[in-house]
């Protein structure tokens, strides 16, 4: 079943802010560019990019409820910071609301926030596109990571993890261990 892009955008207009919609469309576009570069289906990349933040503005209790409803293993950090569940819940919404059955797309949506050791290329692409789409800013570190994304996807995944971890440390935020595991895996992975 083909995804009705216009229907998704209408749904997003009713469930996320205009700024977030702009980000989502940036991820969709950047993901397609990366997919072409790394030999991944650009249609899958576009779908995963468009659907990755469906649950971004769901309230914490709704995220927890939906995660429990779908038997997601909720660790103590996600219990304390339910927003971290929005990636997994977005995958559930993509399946339920838009009929997405492609497990590669659903996994890419679920992995876009914390990553996951052993991610496939589409998941790596969505993880990187989410962090580096042009709307995220133009600071030097982001520009360097965008340049790196043109030649080495796994090193870019590791670099994005490091960028996020430094941000979280600077702002005295909790770091989910999966982000560290993703970084360590990506450092050893080969493009």
> Residue 52's closest CA among 133, 112, 118?
112
Residue 65 CA: distances (Å) to CA of 20, 36, 90, 100: 23, 37, 13, 21
Task: Report the domain count for the chain.
Answer: 1
Q: Note down the domain range covering 123.
A: 5-137
In a domain, 23, yes or no: yes
The answer as to whether 177 is a domain residue is no
- Predicted local distance difference test score (pLDDT) of residue 87: 98
Q: What are the structure tokens assigned to 167, written together?
A: 């941000």
Give the distance from CA 27 to its chain's centroid.
Answer: 9
In a domain, 119, yes or no: yes
In a domain, 187, yes or no: no
Whole-number pLDDT of residue 55: 98
Burial annotation 87-114 (CB, 10 A radius, 16+ → b, else e):
bbbbbbbbbeebebebeebbbbbbbbbb
pLDDT tens for the chain, 191 residues long, are: 689 999 999 999 999 999 999 999 999 999 999 999 999 999 999 999 999 999 999 999 999 999 999 999 999 999 999 999 999 999 999 999 999 999 999 999 999 999 999 999 999 999 999 999 999 999 999 999 999 999 999 999 999 999 999 999 999 999 999 999 999 999 999 76
Is 162 within the bounds of a domain? no
pLDDT at 6: 97
pLDDT at 190: 75
CATH of the domain at 32: 1.10.3210.10
pLDDT at residue 2, rounded to an integer? 82
pTM of the model: 0.97
Report if residue 170 sits inside a domain.
no
Q: What is the dihedral of CA 171, 176, 180, 183, to 10 degrees?
A: -90
| 160 belongs to a structural domain | no
In a domain, 101, yes or no: yes
How many Å is the Cα radius of gyration of the chain? 16
Query: Is residue 104 a contact partner of residue 122, using CB atoms and an 8 Å limit?
Result: yes
The reported pLDDT for the residue numbered 150 is 97
């Amino acid at each position: 079943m083909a995804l009705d892009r216009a229907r998704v955008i209408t749904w997003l207009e009713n469930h996320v802010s205009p700024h977030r919609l702009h980000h989502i469309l940036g991820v969709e576009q950047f993901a397609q560019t990366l997919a072409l570069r790394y030999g991944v289906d650009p249609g899958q990349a576009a779908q995963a990019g468009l659907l990755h933040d469906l649950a971004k503005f769901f309230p914490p209790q709704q995220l927890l409820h939906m995660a429990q409803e779908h038997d997601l293993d909720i660790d103590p950090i996600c219990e304390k910071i339910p927003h971290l569940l929005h990636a997994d819940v977005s995958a559930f919404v993509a399946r339920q609301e838009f009929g997405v059955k492609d497990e590669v797309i659903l996994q890419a949506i679920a992995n876009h926030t914390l990553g996951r050791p052993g991610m496939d290329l589409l998941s790596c692409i969505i993880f990187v596109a989410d962090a580096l789409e042009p709307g995220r800013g133009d600071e030097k570190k982001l520009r360097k990571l965008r340049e790196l994304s043109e030649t080495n996807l796994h090193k870019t995944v590791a670099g994005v993890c490091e960028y996020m971890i430094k941000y979280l440390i600077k702002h005295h935020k909790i770091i989910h261990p999966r982000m560290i595991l993703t970084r360590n895996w990506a450092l050893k992975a080969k493009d």
